[in-house]
Structure 1
């Protein structure tokens, strides 16, 4: 998985009753775009360091 600051991280729910999470990648851990990513979650503006799992995908912004 590769990303850049400004891309969105989508994490699908793996449990019934939970919603998908969408976040803005504000910082990338490595120059090649590999994780970890500092993500600001759009639902609560909380920032967390994320090592995405198989339930996550990156949506690239148009540059």
Structure 2
């Protein structure tokens, strides 16, 4: 998984009844775009350091970046 500042991190609910979470990546710790990321979550307006799991994917800010 690779991301850049401004991309969206989407985490699908792992259990029935859990909603997906969407956040904006505000900081990428490694130059190659690999995790961890600092994410500003849109649902509760907080920022956390995230090591995305298999239930997460990145939606790139610019279309066609080829990551």
TM-score (norm 1): 0.96
**Structure 1: unaligned runs, 5 residues or longer:** none
Tell me how far apart the structure 2 counterparts of residues 55 and 29 of structure 1 sit (CA, whole Å): 21
**Aligned 1:1-63 pairs, distance under 5 A:** 1-62=1-62
Tell me how far apart the structure 2 counterparts of residues 18 and 10 of structure 1 sit (CA, whole Å): 13
Superposed CA deviations along residues 24-44 of structure 1, whole A, max 9, x for unmatched, are 000001000000000000001
RMSD: 1.0
Q: Which runs of 4+ in 1 moved over 6 A?
A: none
Q: Secondary structure at the match of 2:48?
A: strand
TM-score (norm 2): 0.90
Aligned length: 63
**Structure 2: unaligned runs, 5 residues or longer:** none
Tell me how far apart the structure 2 counterparts of residues 58 and 42 of structure 1 sit (CA, whole Å): 15
